[in-house]
A and B are shown apart, each in its own frame.
Chain A
């Protein structure tokens, strides 16, 4: 049984200052790295003789428009080791002006559509992706709908003003 502590220490030993912000929300080891280190890190965790964290559960994006500058977007990777039943969450923060991150499709085949989906909804560009086009939305769409600046309802509507709750 792997503990968060062991894995975190090993990762720090290997990647040093490129990993930071260790957290354990609800027991799930969460760490942040840079986009330069994401592929080496996934490969390291996958090929590590003991950890064998070799299953990519999920990739998704998050938009934090009001937080610290240059950390507006996050790409979140969930990984899983079937052998140790150990999960880890890796985040990479990106600046609004430079939404590029290397694609991990060469490490995990399943990343293909997950990255396309993230691109489709957030406009994050995965460099090296074999076919980075929209997947769920129509091709003609010229914006990225999951960004926070697009409200779900038209804010100029006047027939739905609720004086008590303000929404």
Chain B
């Protein structure tokens, strides 16, 4: 491969001030689109000098499903199902972020109880998301055991989702204006069971990894990024916090009553793979704390807002009262017009700031809806993070970034 070709194929990622002497003949390695280590469909074209990566370029878009275009034709409540399919490891956060965006546009005030239930579900989703990321990071470094220990509890979380909304992966949980049902006795029992049985397992998991010499050697100093570069690259969430910036949407712009809870924001120092792992682990503990507080202080009262134009009436009412029937019909047929407005609302997703930029022209559908997908924005830093390292380091770096293909491609 000639130098001109490298420069062309890597589109400027290869920074060269002076001619570099390569040890070996350069090879091009396709990492993906379907590679076990990508955990999704996206490609990295790496230029290798022997075992060393000297340039990289990502190809994304393999599962692009045109959500933003589809959303322009759908009534607001039908867009929830699109948000599920972005970060499918923590769909309730996406669902509720979307509901809150619409509620902000409509000016609907959600009762405290619904907000607390939302917090519980969102934190469970965050735990599930971090379990996936950290468990798989272990697998990618060659430690399968921890993954088996901890993955069972993702399943338990999915059982709680099932109790709440009937679905497991693509949850479509909640409604504009509140939740579709109250926390059932069974759901509370399952959450309590999770809160008692999960911490010992998480401790065990941490004992397997945190001070494990092999794991530390594989992750410390690997795939590091400075706080300044991370901010320039638009990092948010655990990846930014691992670099030492304590930005968390839950604290800075509290939504859904996050200001009522006491929790810490873990930050790292070096922004390397080990820090990302540790930040996620600590966030799981903090999420457990939030869930405990929310369950303990769960307010009484309705679990949906008094917004008949937007929140589906109870089915029994639909059969008995004319008014409820009309609203039911109007909502289901998507005949409810939203006010004119322009909203940006952000929530702290599993990977960072998940933003919804919504422009409404007063119709039944959004005029324009844009998702700020944290994965998509920070994944562009990947070549910079892995250039100069080896293939095995590049794989743990990618794994610890927690790139979710669904969120990447929308």
Residues of chain A touching chain B, judged by Cβ–Cβ distance below 8 Å, are: 25-26, 28, 30, 54-58, 60, 62-63, 76, 78, 82, 85, 87, 89, 108-110, 112-114, 117, 121, 130-131, 134-138, 145-146, 150, 152-153, 165
A-B contact pairs, 22 of them (CB 8 A): A25-B342, A28-B344, A55-B231, A57-B234, A58-B357, A60-B357, A62-B368, A78-B357, A85-B252, A108-B234, A113-B377, A114-B377, A121-B68, A130-B12, A136-B64, A137-B64, A145-B66, A146-B69, A152-B70, A152-B72, A152-B73, A165-B335
With both beta carbons as reference points, the residue of chain B lying nearest to A132 in the complex is identified as B11
Q: Please determine whether A78 and B355 come into contact, CB atoms closer than 8 angstroms.
A: yes
Within the complex, the shortest CB–CB distance from B72 to chain A, in Å, comes to: 7
User: 6 closest Cβ contacts across the A-B interface?
Assistant: A110-B234, A136-B61, A131-B11, A136-B64, A60-B370, A130-B12
Within the complex, the shortest CB–CB distance from B69 to chain A, in Å, comes to: 6
**Which chain A residues border B368 with CB–CB below 8 Å?**
62-63
With both beta carbons as reference points, the residue of chain B lying nearest to A58 in the complex is identified as B372
- Given contacts A57-B234, A110-B232, A146-B68, is CB(A87)–CB(B344) below 8 Å? yes
Q: Please determine whether B64 and A58 come into contact, CB atoms closer than 8 angstroms.
A: no
Q: Please determine whether A135 and B11 come into contact, CB atoms closer than 8 angstroms.
A: no
Within the complex, the shortest CB–CB distance from A139 to chain B, in Å, comes to: 10
Q: Please determine whether B229 and A109 come into contact, CB atoms closer than 8 angstroms.
A: yes
| Contacts beyond the supplied A60-B357, A110-B377, A136-B409: 16 A-B pairs with Cβ under 8 Å | A26-B344, A57-B353, A58-B344, A62-B359, A62-B368, A78-B355, A89-B344, A110-B378, A114-B234, A117-B376, A130-B11, A131-B11, A136-B61, A136-B64, A137-B61, A152-B72
Bound-complex Cα distance A57 to B377 (A): 9
With both beta carbons as reference points, the residue of chain B lying nearest to A131 in the complex is identified as B11
Find the residue from B12, B73, B344 having the highest chain A CB count within 10 A: B344
Bound-complex Cα distance A110 to B377 (A): 6
Within the complex, the shortest CB–CB distance from A62 to chain B, in Å, comes to: 5
Binary flags per residue of B364-377, CB closer than 8 Å to A gives 1, else 0: 00011010100011
B247 interfacial by beta-carbon distance below 8 Å: yes
- Given contacts A25-B342, A76-B357, A165-B333, is CB(A57)–CB(B61) below 8 Å? no
User: Size band of the B side of the interface?
Assistant: 35 or more
**Which chain A residues border B370 with CB–CB below 8 Å?**
58, 60
Bound-complex Cα distance A152 to B353 (A): 29
Q: Which residue from B231, B335, B372 sits with its C-beta under 8 Å from A54?
A: B231
Q: Please determine whether A58 and B69 come into contact, CB atoms closer than 8 angstroms.
A: no
Bound-complex Cα distance A54 to B245 (A): 13
Bound-complex Cα distance A108 to B234 (A): 8
**Which chain A residues border B357 with CB–CB below 8 Å?**
58, 60, 76, 78
With both beta carbons as reference points, the residue of chain B lying nearest to A108 in the complex is identified as B232
Within the complex, the shortest CB–CB distance from B5 to chain A, in Å, comes to: 15
Within the complex, the shortest CB–CB distance from A134 to chain B, in Å, comes to: 8
**Which chain B residues border A56 with CB–CB below 8 Å?**
234
Bound-complex Cα distance A54 to B231 (A): 8
Binary flags per residue of B232-251, CB closer than 8 Å to A gives 1, else 0: 11100000000001010000
B197 interfacial by beta-carbon distance below 8 Å: no
Q: Please determine whether B247 and A82 come into contact, CB atoms closer than 8 angstroms.
A: yes
Bound-complex Cα distance A138 to B409 (A): 12
B104 interfacial by beta-carbon distance below 8 Å: yes
Binary flags per residue of B295-334, CB closer than 8 Å to A gives 1, else 0: 0000000000000000000000000000000000000010
Q: Please determine whether A57 and B231 come into contact, CB atoms closer than 8 angstroms.
A: no
**Which chain B residues border A82 with CB–CB below 8 Å?**
231, 245, 247, 252
